[in-house]
């Protein structure tokens, strides 16, 4: 991709939550043009203003509706709670043809958030693919990250496993992972998303059991040098 990242724009749907704001901040800092989407325009405006403040105005961040953000961007990132997953996807479905959707959603089912409970499609990412159809590439990524450290420029001690509908889509997503300062790994086809999404429940359980707050994972025994 070399310098072409400056030409790419990223929509962050649900970009007013902590996950979305953290990712939008990192991408804007890396030079991407970021559209913060929300169902509530004032919330999107407030989030964009906050992030522009943190970046001292040196960034391209615009606030808009989820629909406008999905229409304008080359790459669309979904960071809504699972309860809004299906409705949000259906509201932007027609606008995503030919684009890449990166699904950050974890299908947690309260109150048992430390138990893996996947939807009938197998995972949230597979559900997204079912809703969006053949014209859209879908990747899953960022489910296991603690978002607090994205905004304060801290290092995040957690690798990002990337699953998706094609090798090219995963490679594109891994570049966006690296742009946030994190380390991304190709974790295989979209069917493997159950591992990535389910790992969040495992990590929630580990935090509860061992008194930690930011349990994560690192891949060991492999190196990305040759890729």
* Strand-strand pairing, 137-140 and 160-164: antiparallel
> 83 by DSSP, 3-state: which?
helix
Rounded to a whole number of angstroms, the minimum distance from the CB of residue 47 to a copy of itself is 26
C-alpha separations of 162 from 96, 143, 178, 210, 216 in Å: 20, 10, 12, 27, 15
Asked if 209 interacts with a copy of itself (CB under 8 A), we say yes
- Could you give the CA distance from residue 15 to residue 34 in angstroms, rounded to a whole number? 10
> Closer to a copy of itself at the Cβ: 104 or 199?
199
On the CB side of 142, CA atoms within 13 Å amount to: 29
Residues 122-181 that bind a copy of itself (CB under 8 A): 146, 157-158, 161
Distance of CA 29 to the CA centre of its chain: 16
Question: Which residue, chain included where needed, has tokens 């991408």?
Answer: 27
Stretch in the footprint of a copy of itself (CB under 8 A) among 3-11, 40-48, 52-60, 203-211: 203-211
Q: Is 185 in the site for a copy of itself (CB under 8 A)?
A: yes
Q: Which stretch binds a copy of itself (CB under 8 A): 1-9, 57-65, 88-96, 218-226?
A: 218-226
Supply the minimum distance, in Å, between the C-beta of residue 108 and a copy of itself. Answer: 13
What would the x/- binding string for a copy of itself be over residues 58 to 97, using CB under 8 A?
Answer: ----------------------------------------
Work out whether 198 is an interface residue with a copy of itself (CB under 8 A).
Answer: yes
């Amino acid at each position: 991709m070399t310098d072409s990242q400056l030409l790419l724009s990223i929509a962050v749907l649900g970009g007013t939550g902590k996950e979305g704001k953290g990712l939008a901040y990192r991408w804007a800092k890396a030079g991407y043009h970021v559209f913060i989407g929300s169902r509530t325009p004032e919330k999107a405006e407030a989030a964009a203003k906050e992030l522009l403040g943190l970046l001292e105005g040196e960034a391209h961040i615009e606030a808009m509706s989820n629909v406008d953000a999905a229409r304008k961007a080359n790459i669309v990132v979904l960071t809504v709670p699972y309860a809004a997953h299906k409705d949000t996807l259906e509201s932007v479905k027609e606008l995503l043809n030919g684009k890449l959707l990166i699904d950050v959603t974890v299908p947690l089912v309260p109150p048992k958030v430390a138990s893996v409970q996947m939807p009938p499609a197998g995972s949230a990412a597979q559900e997204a693919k079912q809703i969006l159809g053949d014209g859209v590439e879908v990747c899953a990524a960022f489910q296991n990250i603690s978002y607090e450290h994205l905004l304060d420029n801290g290092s995040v001690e957690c690798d990002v496993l990337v699953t998706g509908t094609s090798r090219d889509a995963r490679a594109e997503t891994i570049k966006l992972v690296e742009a946030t300062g994190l380390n991304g790994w190709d974790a295989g086809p979209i069917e493997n998303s159950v591992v990535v999404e389910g790992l969040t429940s495992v990590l929630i359980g580990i935090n509860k059991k061992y008194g930690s707050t930011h349990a994560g994972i690192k891949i060991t025994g492999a190196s990305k040098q040759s890729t």
